Amino acid sequence: MDVELSAEDSEFLAGLRAWLRERLPRAWTRGPHGQEAAAESDVAALRAFQRDLHEAGYLGIGWPTEYGGHPGTALRQFLVDEELVRQRAPSLVGMLGVAMAGPTLIQCGSDAQKRRFLPRILAAEELWCQGYSEPGSGSDLASLRTRAERDGDALVVTGHKVWTTNAHFSDWMFALVRTDPDAPKHRGISYLLIDMKSPGIEVRPLLQMTKDAGFNEVFFDRVRVPLENVVGGLQRGWAVANATLGHERDMLGASAHTRNLFEGLLRVARRATRGGRPASEDPLVRQRLAELRIQVEAMRLHSLRLLSDSLRGRPAGLPGLVTKLDATWLNHRIAELAVELLGAQGPLYRGSRQLVDGGFWPREWMFSLGMIIGGGTTQIQRDIIAQRGLGLPRD
């Protein structure tokens, strides 16, 4: 692909940079790598930032304009997404809506659903969470047991979801529920849009090993959901669920964050010492840095290849799976080396007066481990690539 920007795209990027200089709050970008995820106390400000970004024409590029999208190619949205990470902006507070629920509705939703939800997703008026996993149903997602029974023009949902990121401040959940217990497991599932303010929903926080409570358990006790909130038709939820999972992997595989992390690692290597000299001068450290640098660059080129395919209307397919697999592992290995180079100070986390980079590295090391699991574990991704991509036998 031609990686040079056209004059129009360069002008667009310059406009975006000028906008961010003025509108991106400096307080959010002071940390070594920007804020990683929304803290609950920041939600209102983060909503306002996303709304302004959308109003300025930098969000929803390529989405249908009748539902709030802005005209433009996937390249333009890619430029915006990369620039936000490069400038250490926090992740969008409505990321699960923008990157997962929205693209799924564009692909599989009814006209009424698109009209009702898409503009509010972009403007961060409504934030979303994902209700897939249940106790006992993670990798084997199709075994899920949360059930929804028909009652007039509604479905009545009873069950228990777990690991639900952002449920504590979300307005809506896209969820998988069992609507036909007698059908083979993949064929008895429906995809529902659930208003989180509905009576009968209880959200209980779960503490991660980072000591943040970013995800939750969600309990449903006879929660009524109008039938019009089924996406793709009753019992057709599995195909819709997979469309969302594809979008989730794209979101988790963004390469700009990995490049930021690597730049941060280089700074650590220059500052930390080995045998009285900067660690970056130690031949063994240099070798490990070089190995990571090669992988970071390969990942960048891979993401450009996927972008090029998408501009030509070619679906990402299995190469898209490689991105999530690589990015999450690479992020973890970069953080691991940073913690190691920092020596005794490396593992210090919240509460210590000798924190390096505000405890960023041990947090990233722990957080990135979760990303290897979330959105489909490494083992499952490798199985899919092996079987569907390389045609290897199942056993």
Ligand X SMILES: Cc1cc2nc3c(=O)[nH]c(=O)nc-3n(C[C@H](O)[C@H](O)[C@H](O)COP(=O)(O)OP(=O)(O)OC[C@H]3O[C@@H](n4cnc5c(N)ncnc54)[C@H](O)[C@@H]3O)c2cc1C
**Contacting residues toward ligand X, per CB under 6 A:** 129-133, 138-139, 163-165, 215, 370, 373-374, 376-377, 379-380, 383
Cβ-proximal residue to ligand X, closest one: 138
Residue 129 beta carbon to ligand X: minimum distance, rounded to whole angstroms = 6
Please give the distance of CA 219 from its chain centroid, rounded to a whole number. Answer: 23
68 vs 103 by CB, closer to ligand X: 103
Q: How far is the CB of 194 from ligand X (least distance, A)?
A: 13
- By C-beta, is 254 or 272 nearer to ligand X? 254
Tokens of 138: 């993670």
Residue number, 132 or 360, with CB nearest to ligand X: 132
Question: Residue 288 CB, nearest distance to ligand X (Å)?
Answer: 26
- What is the closest distance, in whole angstroms, from the C-beta atom of residue 376 to ligand X in the complex? 6
Closest CB to ligand X among 133 and 310? 133
Judged by beta carbon, residue 72 or residue 131, the one nearer ligand X is 131
CB of 130 to ligand X, least distance (A): 4
Rounded to a whole number of angstroms, the distance between the first and last alpha carbons of the chain is: 38
Q: Which of 126, 134, 248, 364 is catalytic?
A: 248
Cβ of residue 22: shortest distance to ligand X, in angstroms?
33
3-state secondary structure the chain: CCCCCCHHHHHHHHHHHHHHHHHCCHHHCCCCCCCCCCCHHHHHHHHHHHHHHHHCCCCCECCCHHHCCECCCHHHHHHHHHHHHHCCCCCCCCHHHHHHHHHHHHHHCCHHHHHHHHHHHHCCCCCEEEECCECCECCCHHHCCCEEEEECCEEEEEEEEEEEECHHHCCEEEEEEECCCCCCHHHHEEEEEEECCCCCEEEEEECCCCCCCCEEEEEEEEEEEEHHHEECCCCCHHHHHHHHHHHHHHHHCCHHHHHHHHHHHHHHHHHCEECCEEHHHCHHHHHHHHHHHHHHHHHHHHHHHHHHHHHCCCCCCHHHHHHHHHHHHHHHHHHHHHHHHCHHHCCCCCCCCCCCHHHHHHHHHHHHHHHHHCCCCHHHHHHHHHHHHCCCCCC
Q: Of 140 and 291, which CB lies nearer to ligand X in the complex structure?
A: 140
Has 55 been annotated as catalytic?
no
Provide the annotated active-site residues: 248
